[in-house]
Structures are given as structure tokens and as C-alpha cells.
Amino acid sequence: MAKTKELSKDTRKRIVDLHQTGKSESTIGKQLGVKKSTVGAIIRKWKTYKTTDNLPRSGAPRKISSRGVKMIMRTVSKNPRTTRGDLVNDLQRAGTTVTKVTISNTLQRQGIKSCSARRVPLLKPVHVQARLKFAREHMDDTAEDWENVMWSDETKVELFGINSTRRVWRKKNTELHPKNTIPTVKHGGGNIMLWGCFSAKGTGRLIRVKGRMNGAMYREILSQNLLPSVRALKMKRGWVFQHDNDPKHTARATKEWLLKTHLKVLEWPSQSPDINLIENLWRELKVHFARRQPQNITALENICMEEWAKIPATVCANLVKTYSNRLTSVIANKGYVTKY
């Protein structure tokens, strides 16, 4: 039998209105061209529920009981990397047979979806405490203080990169919870290595590091590129140099060179790229060179230099202006990785 067309809201309303004027079901049916049985059903529904709108339909019963849902939620909360297959097996052992699709639908109704786990630096308790200490000590620093900082770092740039992913079950806005991330450690292979610096006034020099960088090479880079960048950007007297705790940066010879050169260095917490502003510029650079699709290393280097020079000074200034927000996030996240 063909499915009958559902009456419009206006027609259902007119049926009720005509009924309230005292007209019979057969009269209403003839006037509106609707079956008497349908008119009667609409009127009975209105008398019972005081509405003619469609009521919620029960549908098929859930495959997974409320107890089973709780078990699934406990499992993914304890271990977000649990697979759908694992959950299917858990329920089967408990006497419930379901498919992976049913698992996905159940979790989505609880506000949880499968997402790629974020890769973040591995934070040990000592790192977490150092990050909190840094954030608290500098919370009262002014925007002018941060404008006088020269930020620096190295980055690997790959001609054709492949990023492996892992998926986790999580709720919205929990992508940076430690259980939902994949810890990483620094330095691996790469096609070219770059060193660069910038301040609130714009980008400084960007150079390609050829060969394996050691302490001596790092000091040579600073000597030939850091100070000229400071002069080009017209940094104020008493400017502060920022670099991370890479062993080349913290080597005794490097510390002695920095002291001899009378550079004031910002004490930095390890494993903290999320609060190093230059990381944002690296992302900007990589997005732009990827769009140009270089096909060889020479083109890759040239494009990186061109795109670095194109980064507007306003971008640099805006990053520095909002730096206190990052420190607030570090404290709010109890020292763990922030969204930046």
C-alpha cells in the first residue's frame, strides 16, 4: 500500500478550528477533502495532547543498554585510544552484539567523536612546573616588555612531508588534554634546516643551516645574523634574546659567548614551543611555501626566503601584543600544552 501524504500544519489547524465551531467530522472532511477517519484522528489527538504536531516517535529500541553506554564511556574516558573493535569485543563479552557503526553512533550521541590525536612535546612533571613558574613570573610583564624581545628558533622544512596520525575518542574542546595528544621529541630527519628571528617590529634574518649544526656553528650564526637583525629592526637598548634549551644553546661555550657579547637572555622553560611566538611564523611560512609546491631543495630554500620576507610587520606586532594570553593559558592548563 502506498504511503499517504501527511497533512500540512495549516490543514490540521483548520480541522480543529472547524470542530470548535460545532461542525461534524463528516462535514469537515467533505469541506477540506479529507477522509472522515483522518479528521477524527486529528481531533482525538488535539483533545488528548492539545496539539496537532507530530509527537516523538519511539523508533527501534537501542542496541546498547544504558548500562552498556556507561561501560563504553568509562572505557574511552580512561583510554581515549581504544578502538571501535575493542569496544565491540567488550560488549560481546558482556552479552551484547553490535557493529562498529553502532559504537560510533552511540559515542556521538554522548558528544564524543573520533579525532586525530595532536602531536605535542613530551612534558615531564619538571617541565610542567617550569612552565608554570615562567608563566607566573612574567604575568605582570607589559606589552612594551615583550616588544623588546628578539625571538629565535630553528625549524625543519620538508620538501614532501608525511604526517602519521592516531585517532582518539574525545569531547569538543579537549584536543589538548594529555590523554588526547601524542608526545613527540625534537629533531628528526628533514630536507633543510632554517634559523630565523623576529621581534614586534618585523622579521629578522632567515638563513639555511648547512650540515649538522653544533655549538660553534650556532655561535657563528648568532654572530653573523642576530646582531645585524637587532640593528635592522632598531631594537631598544636593553633588548632581550630568546632561544630555547637546545643543548647547542645551553652549552658552556655558548653561554660564555652570550655573556661576553653582553646579551640579556630570557630564561626559558624546556619543551615549550607553544609559548614561543616564532612557532606561529614557522607555521605561516610552511603554509605559504606549500601553496607554491617547490619541486627541489633549491626552490624550497628560495621560496622560504621570499615568503619569510613577505610576512607583514603587523603580524609580528599582533603576536607580541597578545603574548600575555598564552601565559594565562599555561596557568589555566596547569602547566600543560596550550592551544597556541
Q: What is the pLDDT of residues 135-147, one digit of tens each?
A: 999 999 999 999 9
Residue located via cell numbers 611566538: 277
Report pLDDT digits (tens) over 117-126. 888 888 999 9
Question: pTM surpassing 0.85?
Answer: no
pLDDT at 281 over 50: yes
Looking at residue 160, its pLDDT comes to: 65
Query: What pLDDT, on the 0 to 100 scale, is given for residue 80?
Result: 92
- Conformational region of residue 291, where left means phi above 0, alpha means psi within -120 to 50, and beta covers everything else: alpha
Which of 153-157, 188-192, 213-217, 322-326 shows the lowest mean pLDDT across its residues?
188-192
The grid cell for 322 is: 597578545
Cell numbers linked to 122 = 613530551
Q: Binning pLDDT at 50, 70 and 90, where does residue 162 land?
A: very low
Strands (E), the chain: 112-116, 118-121, 149-157, 167-171, 181-184, 192-199, 202-209, 240-242, 264-265
How does residue 107 score in pLDDT terms, banded at 50, 70 and 90?
A: very high
For residues 255-271, average pLDDT: 95
Among 276, 274, 281, which Cα is nearest to 335's? 274
Task: Quote the percentage of the chain above a pLDDT of 90.
Answer: 69
Average pLDDT score, the chain: 89
Residue type, 194: L
Nearest partner of 124 among 79, 178, 175, judged by Cα: 178
Helical pair 323-332 and 313-321, crossing angle rounded to 10 deg: 40
- Residue 313: phi and psi, rounded to 5, are -60, -30
Q: Which amino acid is at 6?
A: E
Q: Is the pLDDT of residue 205 over 90?
A: yes
